Amino acid sequence: MEKKVKLSILCELYGKLLTKKQYEFLNDYYNNDLSLSEIAENNNITRQAVRDNIKKGEKKLFEYEEKLLFMKRMFNQEKTIQKVLSELAKIQKDSSDKKVTSILESIKKELNCLV
């Protein structure tokens, strides 16, 4: 997975555990696509100070994920749901019972809401 996407997801999951500035800078840099210079200008600080805050924030995000594994679990759960949906579709395709087909469709809708 691309580093930028990974950090954006980690920021979403753990961002509130960072300092306010780290969260704001990471969010501006990764989600709002602002440059270090733009963030520095908006906050009246140096570009280096922004970079340092972002690097510290990134380090914290990776530490949180290493310990808590929320992103890993989330992706594993999504893979499992996709497998279950695929199996349900096979059963539904082979079933001639309208009641079974209706129940399977209901289950598929519920699982799709989780993904």
So what's the pLDDT on residue 96?
82
Q: Which two tokens stand for residue 67?
A: 């310990």
Please determine, for residue 92, whether its predicted confidence score (pLDDT) is greater than 90. no
Query: CA-to-CA distance for 97 and 103, rounded, in angstroms?
Result: 10
pLDDT band at 98 (very low <50, low <70, confident <90, very high): confident
So what's the pLDDT on residue 115?
78
Query: CA-to-CA distance for 87 and 76, rounded, in angstroms?
Result: 17
42-90 pLDDT, tens per residue? 999 999 999 999 999 999 999 999 999 999 999 999 999 999 999 998 8
The angle formed by the CA atoms of residues 76, 87 and 94, to the nearest 5 degrees, is 170
DSSP string across 32-100: S---HHHHHHHHTS-HHHHHHHHHHHHHHHHHHHHHH-HHHHHHHHHHHHHHHHHHHHHHHHH---HHH
Report the percentage of the chain scoring pLDDT > 70: 100
For the whole model, what pTM was predicted? 0.79
So what's the pLDDT on residue 46?
97
Q: What is the mean pLDDT of residues 8-27?
A: 96
So what's the pLDDT on residue 24?
97
